[in-house]
């Protein structure tokens, strides 16, 4: 009886033992009847396996499987972020082998071949262990070695049990070599391909010099033709499936790489524009400092000195905000800027920020009012919340005309904490759109000629999403602009 790799079984046994009695099938059936039944069964087995290969295999290895099945197969083979392509193909091959062996065990028992069922069960256990090692313990190198050695040993045994060169084992060795080339590292090709060639040539030599070691096991000529034909179809289908997976995944990853490259080029161009503007804006405060130092040697009035100091202070403050935003943005882009989430009381957290901005707003003759309820609590990062509010308030101060009003509010509503920053605007028609939250290199100028490139609002959006919140705004030419920040709330026992 031949061990038919992972997919095939045959009936060649012509005797069956019951108790202590041994009888031949020929005692019950005529030779012609037995050959007919055997051939019919073989054809059914071939049909079943072809259907398995052509219909179930593609679904098992996520070729065209939709929906939940696609998610299942991705979970089986692993995510691209966790495993490289060759390892995912290896997992798919192992999953396919386990499915085929699980199919063979009960079928062999049903047709009265318990020895082959036991062999299939043992092989199934080995393949399952190999899958566990690679998929869940991430010991892929050891798993690959065990799989290649087990498969090679299985096919060597199959060569002696299934008519040697007159059987289909040569096809299975070709299949084994293709699978090994698909899953092993390139540097191991010479070893596995070389050993495959040496083994098959050695088996041919043994059979040629000692033909009695490899008996001819086919009871009828038709059995051999059916067996070899079915083996050929299976090998072709599995090889096609392997190359289809490789090509499909290669095309997918190449397409993703091209998209990432295009996106990277866009970001790089945007970054270059952004840094060009930042470099230009850094010249302004440096020029103010230089001018002020030169004027110290001149005979100017105290009023003029105070005017220059105010201009210098405003310019350096704006530049410092811009530099801080650039540093925060760079940190988030390079390292992910991991956040430490905890329960935050908004009123306590923002109190020093509000006091600072009240003084800054007063210099532009703008009134800043805070109405943050004391029970407003959020679950988030203290640094991120402060950065968002700092940018929103700074933005309002920049674009609010002298004599205007800025109002900061925060309160709880339906499990959320809603914080608003409302200003009365510049008195001119607003020209804001939703793209202001996206990184751009567009120059903006405030009511006192404050400079900016929109990096702060991009950071606000990025940090808000990271904390599971939402940010948006409304704009009106008469009543000004209102920014809304919604974050997950933490119920607090403090009364308002």
- Predicted pLDDT at 485: 92
- Within this chain, do residues 257 and 344 fall inside the same structural domain, yes or no? no
Q: Which residues contact 346 (CB under 8 A, 6 or more apart)?
A: 372, 376, 377, 378, 385, 410, 417, 419
- Within this chain, do residues 254 and 341 fall inside the same structural domain, yes or no? no
| Domain-located, residue 411 | yes
| Domain-located, residue 123 | yes
The CATH number given to whatever domain includes residue 338 is 3.30.565.10
| Domain-located, residue 295 | no
Residue 443: closest CA among 325, 312, 281: 281
Residue 463: closest CA among 286, 350, 339, 290: 339
| Domain-located, residue 320 | no
- Predicted pLDDT at 46: 46
- Within this chain, do residues 235 and 149 fall inside the same structural domain, yes or no? yes
Residue 493: closest CA among 377, 393, 397, 408: 377
Three-state DSSP state, 406: strand
Q: Which residue, 263, 278, 313, sits at the end of a domain?
A: 263
- Predicted pLDDT at 41: 47
- Within this chain, do residues 56 and 179 fall inside the same structural domain, yes or no? yes
The whole domain housing 475 covers 334-488
- Within this chain, do residues 84 and 200 fall inside the same structural domain, yes or no? yes
Residue 403: closest CA among 385, 420, 423, 388: 423
* Tens of pLDDT, residues 275-313: 766 666 666 667 767 777 777 677 777 777 777 777 677
Q: Which residue, 263, 290, 320, sits at the end of a domain?
A: 263
- Within this chain, do residues 43 and 187 fall inside the same structural domain, yes or no? yes
- Predicted pLDDT at 310: 72
- Predicted pLDDT at 112: 53
Three-state DSSP state, 371: strand
Interhelix angle 169-183/85-110, nearest 10 degrees:
150
Alpha carbon distance, N-terminus to C-terminus of the chain: 84
What is the rounded CA–CA span in Å between residue 464 and residue 123?
A: 53
- Within this chain, do residues 180 and 41 fall inside the same structural domain, yes or no? yes
| Domain-located, residue 280 | no
- Predicted pLDDT at 160: 86
- Within this chain, do residues 257 and 387 fall inside the same structural domain, yes or no? no
Tokens of 290: 């230089």
Site of tokens 């009106």: 476
Burial code (b: 16+ CB inside 10 Å, e: under 16) for 466-476 equals bbebebebebe
**pLDDT tens across the length of the chain (496 residues):** 344 333 333 333 333 333 333 333 344 444 444 444 444 444 454 455 544 444 444 444 444 444 444 455 567 777 777 787 778 878 887 887 777 677 667 755 664 556 656 777 887 888 889 888 888 888 888 888 888 888 888 888 878 877 889 888 888 888 888 888 877 888 888 888 888 899 999 999 999 999 989 888 777 788 778 778 877 887 787 778 777 777 877 787 788 888 888 888 877 876 776 676 666 666 666 776 777 777 767 777 777 777 777 767 766 776 776 677 667 666 655 555 567 888 999 999 888 888 888 888 888 889 999 999 888 889 888 888 888 888 898 888 888 888 889 999 998 888 889 999 999 876 555 555 666 777 654 555 555 555 555 677 887 888 899 888 999 988 876 778 899 999 998 754 344 4
* Tens of pLDDT, residues 214-270: 888 777 788 778 778 877 887 787 778 777 777 877 787 788 888 888 888 877 876
Tokens of 76: 């089986």
| Domain-located, residue 200 | yes
- Contact, 484 vs 472, CB < 8 A? yes
- Within this chain, do residues 167 and 39 fall inside the same structural domain, yes or no? yes
| Domain-located, residue 360 | yes
Q: Which residue, 242, 263, 284, sits at the end of a domain?
A: 263
Q: CA 172 → CA 1, 44, 224, 342, 383, distances in Å?
A: 16, 21, 15, 59, 62
- Within this chain, do residues 25 and 148 fall inside the same structural domain, yes or no? yes
What is the rounded CA–CA span in Å between residue 461 and residue 475?
A: 18
| Domain-located, residue 304 | no
The domain total for the chain is 2
C-alpha dihedral (472, 477, 478, 480), degrees to nearest 10: 30
- Within this chain, do residues 254 and 339 fall inside the same structural domain, yes or no? no
What is the rounded CA–CA span in Å between residue 447 and residue 360?
A: 14
């Amino acid at each position: 009886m031949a061990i038919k790799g992972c997919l095939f079984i045959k009936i060649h046994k012509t005797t069956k033992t019951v108790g202590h009695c041994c009888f031949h099938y020929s005692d019950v059936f005529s030779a012609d009847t037995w050959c007919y039944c055997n051939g019919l069964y073989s054809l059914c087995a071939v049909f079943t396996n072809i259907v398995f290969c052509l219909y179930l295999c593609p679904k098992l290895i996520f070729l065209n499987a939709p929906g939940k099945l696609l998610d299942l197969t991705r979970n089986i083979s692993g995510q691209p972020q966790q495993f490289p392509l060759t390892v995912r193909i290896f997992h798919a091959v192992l999953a396919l082998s386990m499915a085929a062996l699980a199919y063979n065990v009960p079928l062999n028992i049903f047709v009265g071949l318990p020895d082959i069922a036991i062999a299939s069960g043992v092989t199934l256990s080995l393949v399952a262990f190999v899958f566990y090692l690679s998929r869940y313990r991430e010991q892929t190198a050891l798993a690959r070695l065990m799989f290649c050695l087990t498969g090679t040993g299985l096919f060597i045994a199959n060569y002696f049990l299934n008519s040697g060169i007159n059987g289909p084992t040569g096809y299975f060795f070709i299949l084994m070599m293709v699978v090994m080339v698909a899953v092993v590292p390139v540097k191991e090709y010479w070893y596995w391909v070389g050993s495959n060639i040496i083994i098959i040539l050695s088996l041919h030599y043994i059979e040629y010099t000692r033909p009695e070691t490899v008996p001819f096991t086919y009871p009828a000529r038709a059995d051999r033709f059916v067996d070899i034909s079915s083996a050929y179809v299976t090998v072709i289908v599995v090889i096609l499936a392997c190359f289809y997976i490789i090509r499909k995944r290669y095309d997918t990853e190449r397409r993703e790489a091209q998209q990432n490259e295009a996106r990277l080029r866009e970001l790089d161009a945007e970054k270059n524009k952004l840094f060009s503007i930042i470099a230009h804006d850094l010249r302004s405060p440096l020029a103010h400092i230089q001018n002020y130092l030169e004027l110290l040697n001149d005979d100017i009035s105290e009023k003029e000195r105070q005017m220059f100091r105010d201009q210098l202070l405003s310019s350096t403050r704006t530049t410092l905000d811009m530099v801080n935003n650039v540093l925060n943005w760079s940190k988030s882009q390079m390292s992910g800027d991991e956040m430490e989430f905890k329960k935050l009381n908004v009123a306590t957290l923002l109190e020093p920020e509000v006091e600072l901005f009240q003084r800054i707003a007063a210099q532009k003759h703008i009134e800043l009012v805070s109405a943050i309820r004391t029970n407003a609590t959020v679950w988030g990062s203290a640094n991120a919340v402060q950065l968002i509010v700092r940018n929103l308030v700074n933005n309002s101060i920049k674009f609010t005309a002298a004599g205007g009003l800025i109002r900061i509010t925060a309160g709880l509503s339906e499990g959320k904490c809603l914080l608003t920053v409302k200003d009365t605007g510049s008195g001119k028609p607003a020209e804001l759109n939703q793209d202001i939250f996206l990184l751009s290199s567009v120059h903006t100028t405030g009511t006192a000629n404050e400079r900016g490139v929109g990096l702060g609002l991009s950071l606000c959006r990025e940090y808000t999403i990271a904390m599971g919140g939402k940010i948006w705004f409304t704009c009106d030419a008469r009543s000004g602009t209102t920014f809304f920040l919604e974050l997950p709330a933490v119920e607090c026992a403090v009364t308002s």
